[in-house]
Amino acid sequence: MLYKQPKYRVMGDRSLLVELGDEINLAVNEKVRRLFQAVKQTKIDTIFDAVPGYCSVLLVFDPLATTTDHVQVIIDALFEDLDQFELPEPSSMEIPVVYGGEYGPDLGWVAKYHKTTPEEVILRHTKTEYQVYMIGFTPGFPYMGELPETLETPRKKTPRTAVPRGSVGLALKQTGIYPARSPGGWQIIGRTPLTLFDPLKNPPSLLEMGDRVRFFSISQEEMNHWPR
């Protein structure tokens, strides 16, 4: 549900969480993106940083120069006229993926869970266009949705201690890509050769909030020679 007015949660002596809804959907996430842009474009001196999520924006402020009450007054005023803040034009990207085998160890399990074939899982995953709702967990990790209902898949009961870089996974209504080797509990169905995060680039993240993504299948041979 999209809230008519923001809800606030104090997250410490210098952070305030602004909640704009209670579920993952495009309408709530658009409000999040607009509020994020509003804070960036108005350049409020007392707010050091804004970190957008699925349904909220975390604000980090100077506790010696302002208070949570004053920050709430500022955000309430911005919220009344969010439509004046334009969203950046989203990029559209196609992501190559090797599905199954050593690169997608959970593809067979996902197919069995949905009572279908691995080939059908791949078809369902590649025929949908996804929106990047947020970047988080690790630098450059894109949370994308929403999966078609026929592909909604539970997380693993026991997370892996190490998921390889570039792994493409499913979790509930989301799909995502691991930018670096890390622990993780998503169902891994494939791997991309692309680099999702490079701290030497500007911006360092290949994908940004609001971008549109489609996946397409490639062979292991193509994977070995794909430009990084």
Q: String of b and e for 110-142 (b: at least 16 CB within 10 Å)?
A: bbebeeeebeebbebbbebebbbbbbbeeebbb
Express as a percent the part of the chain with pLDDT over 70. 100
pLDDT band at 86 (very low <50, low <70, confident <90, very high): confident
What's the pLDDT at 21?
A: 92
What's the pLDDT at 196?
A: 96
177-179-184 Cα angle (round to 5): 65
Mean pLDDT on 14-33? 92
For residues 68 and 102, give the distance between their C-alpha atoms in angstroms, rounded to a whole number.
Answer: 50
| CB-side neighbour CA atoms (13 Å) of 91 | 8
pLDDT band at 227 (very low <50, low <70, confident <90, very high): confident
What's the pLDDT at 192?
A: 98
Do residues 159 and 185 make contact, with C-beta atoms less than 8 angstroms apart? yes
Q: Write out the two tokens for 131.
A: 């929106």
Mean pLDDT on 75-98? 92
Tell which wins on pLDDT, 114 or 202.
114
Q: pLDDT digits over 164-193, tens only?
A: 999 999 999 999 999 999 999 999 999 999
Mean pLDDT on 202-228? 93
pLDDT band at 131 (very low <50, low <70, confident <90, very high): very high
The answer to which of 26-30, 75-79, 155-159, 188-192 has the lowest mean pLDDT is 26-30
Whether residue 228 is predicted with pLDDT greater than 80 in this model: the reply is no
What's the pLDDT at 90?
A: 87
Whether the CA torsion 168, 180, 25, 211 is positive or negative: it is: negative
Q: Is 25 exposed, middle or buried (0-12, 13-18, 19+ CB in 10 A)?
A: middle
Residue 220, classed as helix, strand or coil, is helix
For residues 98 and 122, give the distance between their C-alpha atoms in angstroms, rounded to a whole number.
Answer: 10
For residues 152 and 136, give the distance between their C-alpha atoms in angstroms, rounded to a whole number.
Answer: 21
What domains sit in the chain, N to C, each tagged with a CATH number? 2-84 (3.30.1360.40), 92-225 (2.40.100.10)
The one-letter amino acid at 210: G
For residues 119 and 127, give the distance between their C-alpha atoms in angstroms, rounded to a whole number.
Answer: 12
Mean pLDDT on 34-55? 92
For residues 134 and 109, give the distance between their C-alpha atoms in angstroms, rounded to a whole number.
Answer: 27
In total, the chain counts a number of residues equal to: 228
What's the pLDDT at 78?
A: 94
Residue 210, classed as helix, strand or coil, is coil
Tell which wins on pLDDT, 25 or 198.
198
Do residues 168 and 104 make contact, with C-beta atoms less than 8 angstroms apart? yes
What's the pLDDT at 26?
A: 87
Do residues 184 and 178 make contact, with C-beta atoms less than 8 angstroms apart? yes
What's the pLDDT at 10?
A: 96
Checking DSSP bridges between strand 212-217 and strand 92-99, what pairing results, if any?
parallel
Mean pLDDT on 19-42? 91
